[in-house]
Structure 1
Amino acid sequence: MSKLALVAGQGGLPHRLVAALPDQIATVVHLDGFAPEGVTSTAFRVEHLGSLIARLVAEGVSDVCFAGAIARPALDPAALDAATLPLVPRMMQALQAADDAALRTVLSFFEEAGLRVVGAHELLPDLLTVPEVGTPSDRARADIDRAAAVHAALAPLDVGQGCVVAAGQVLAVEAMPGTDWMLASLTHFHGPKGGVLFKAAKAGQDRRVDMATIGPGTVTAAAAAGLSGIAVRQSDVLVLDPEGVSDALTRTGLFLTAVAP
C-alpha cells in the first residue's frame, strides 16, 4: 500500500485534501514561512531539502503531493546541511529559472530518490468538477474566444494561467503576483464594462504541481473588478469549494462556464 506525504502551501487546497483523505496522508510538511491554514504540519527549510527527502524515504513514503501556493524562497548558503549540498548547483539554477522549469527541477530531486509525485486532482478527482452557473451572452462568448487565443499565444512564454478580456480588449494578463492581484488591479481601471476572466493551463505545464485554481474569493474578486463572468478550460483548473463558488456566483450574478480543451 502506498504511503503519501503532502507538501503543503498556502490557500485552501491543503485543507481540502487533508479533510477528504485523512487515512491516506501519512505526513504533512511545509516550507518554512508558508504554513498552510487550518492544517497541522511540520516546517522544513529549503536549505534542508535533501534531508527532508531522505527522511521521507526512510519513513517508507512512496508518493508525494504538492498542494498550495508558495513564493520562491531565498537560499542561505550558511544554513545548508550535508544532504542538500549536492543539490545546490541545480537549486541555484532553479531559483533563477521560469516557474515551470523551476518546478521540474524540484520534482526531479524527489523522483531521483524514488518518490512518485502525484497531483492533487489524481487523489481527489472531484477537484476538477466545475459548478457551471449562468449562461454567457454572445458578447461574453466572443470575449472567451479572444481570451483563449491570447492565453494560447502567451502560454509558451511561461507568463501566467489567466487573462481578462472585455469587448475584445485585453485588460490584464496574469503574471507572478497571481489572479487576485490581477483582478484587484482592475478595480482602479475604467475600461469597457463587463468582461471575462479566463483560466487554463500553460503549454508544457506540469499539472501535478501547478494547476490553476478558483474558489469563492475568485468570484468575489471578479465581481469587484466589474466582470460579467469566469471561463475555465475543462480539466485544467481546480475548484476548491464548489458549493461556495456556486453561492458566490448566485450572489454576484456572474456566470461560470467550462470550455472544451
Structure 2
Amino acid sequence: MLALIAGTGTLPDELASQLSERPLICSLEGLEPENLKPDLVFPLEHLGSFIAELKSRGVTEICMAGAIDRPAVDPSRIDAQTLPLVPIIQKAMMSGDDGALRAAISVFESVGLDVRSAHEIAPDIFPPSGCLTQIEPSKRDLEDADRAAAIVRAMGAADVGQACAVLNGQALAIESVFGTAWMLKSLSQRPDAGGGVLYKGPKPNQDMRVDIPTIGPETIPDVVAAGLAGIVIEKGSVIVLDRKRVISECDRMGIFLLVREHAA
C-alpha cells in the first residue's frame, strides 16, 4: 500500500490524479495540500506515532510530494514513539536542503518503508523533450542554457539552488533559499533591455525521490515580468504542473518553453 506524504501546492493533487488507485493521503500539520483532503494529519513531534500508524494500516511504500517548510518543533509535544528520532530530526533541522531530505528518507527506510519518487509511481509526470511552444529559442538562448546548466551544477555542489537566469553567458540572478519566484521578481526592474533564459534543473547527485524541481502556471508571468525570453528545463528532471495551461500561457505571453536533453 502506498502513502502519499503531501506538502503544499498542487503537485500532490496532480500526482494523485495520475494513479490508478488512491493512496493514503498524509500531511504535516499546517502544511496541507491544495485541492486534496488528507486522511492523516500529523505534527512533526508525533513522527514516530505517525510511522507506527502507517505500518498498522499496511503501508509498505511512501512518496513525498509538494513543498514542505521546516516547522518549528515544540519539545513539550514530542511523544514517546518520537523520542528515539529526536537526534535525526535535530540534525535535519540544522542541515541544508539536501541533508534534511536525506535525513527524512533515512527515517522511513530504517523502519522498512520504501521511499518512491513521483516519477516512479506516475511516469507521465515529466513532459517530453523538445520545444513545447510556438516560439522557439534562438542559438544564443541555447548557448545561455548551456551556461546556466553549468552554473546550476556549480551551485548545486554547494546545496544552493536549482535555477538561474542567464543572458549572453552572464548570470543575471541565481536561486537562493527564497526560491525561483523571488529570484524572478528580483529581475522585474532590471536596468537593461531584457532577454535571457530561466534555466531549472536538478543539483548534482540530487535525490529525485523527494526533491524534484518544479515549475507551474504561476512561473510564466514572473518570467515575462523579469524580461526573459523563455524557459529551459532538463528532460526527465523537472515537473511542469498543469502542463497544458503552462504551454498555453507561454504562447499567449510570447515566450518559449524548451525541455532540454541532458548534455553529454
- TM bucket normalised to smaller: over 0.9
Aligned-partner residue type, residue 164 of structure 2: C
Alignment partner, residue 196 of structure 1: 197
Q: Any residues of structure 2 matched to 1:241-252 within 5 Å, and which?
A: 241-252=242-253
Alignment size in residue pairs: 258
Q: Any residues of structure 2 matched to 1:15-164 within 5 Å, and which?
A: 15-21=13-19, 23-25=21-23, 27-41=24-38, 42-130=40-128, 132-133=132-133, 134-164=135-165
CA distance in 1, matches of 2:53, 2:145: 47
CA distance in 1, matches of 2:177, 2:258: 25
Alignment partner, residue 210 of structure 1: 211
CA distance in 2, matches of 1:115, 1:152: 31
CA distance in 2, matches of 1:63, 1:169: 43
RMSD: 1.3
CA distance in 1, matches of 2:239, 2:140: 26
Per-residue CA deviation, residues 71-91 of structure 1 (Å, 9 max, x unaligned), is 111111111000100010111
Structure 1 residue 172: Cα displacement: 0.9
Mapped contact 1:196–1:227 kept (Cα < 8 A): yes
Of all paired residues, the percent bearing the same amino acid is 46
Aligned-partner residue type, residue 158 of structure 2: L
Aligned-partner residue type, residue 206 of structure 2: Q
Mapped contact 2:213–2:237 kept (Cα < 8 A): yes
- 2:181 is the counterpart of 1:180: yes
Mapped contact 1:15–1:37 kept (Cα < 8 A): yes
What secondary structure is seen at the aligned counterpart in 2 of 1:175?
coil
Alignment partner, residue 232 of structure 1: 233
CA distance in 2, matches of 1:259, 1:206: 20
User: Pick from 6, 9, 26: which aligns with 1:8?
Assistant: 6
CA distance in 2, matches of 1:192, 1:150: 23
Q: Which moved more, 1:195-204 or 1:168-177?
A: 168-177
Aligned-partner residue type, residue 148 of structure 1: A
CA distance in 2, matches of 1:39, 1:221: 26
Mapped contact 2:127–2:259 kept (Cα < 8 A): no
What secondary structure is seen at the aligned counterpart in 1 of 2:106?
helix
Structure 1 residue 192: Cα displacement: 5.0
Mapped contact 1:219–1:248 kept (Cα < 8 A): yes
Mapped contact 2:231–2:258 kept (Cα < 8 A): yes
Per-residue CA deviation, residues 13-65 of structure 1 (Å, 9 max, x unaligned), is 1111222226241x111111111111001321000011111110111001101
What secondary structure is seen at the aligned counterpart in 2 of 1:164?
strand
What secondary structure is seen at the aligned counterpart in 2 of 1:186?
coil
Q: Which moved more, 1:122-131 or 1:157-166?
A: 122-131
Structure 1 residue 168: Cα displacement: 2.1
Structure 2, unmatched stretches of 5+, are none
Per-residue CA deviation, residues 78-135 of structure 1 (Å, 9 max, x unaligned), is 1100010001011101100111111011111111111111111111111111472231
Mapped contact 2:15–2:125 kept (Cα < 8 A): no
Mapped contact 1:12–1:240 kept (Cα < 8 A): yes
Per-residue CA deviation, residues 171-220 of structure 1 (Å, 9 max, x unaligned), is 11111111111111211322351110001100121101100011121122
Return the TM-score normalized by structure 1.
0.95
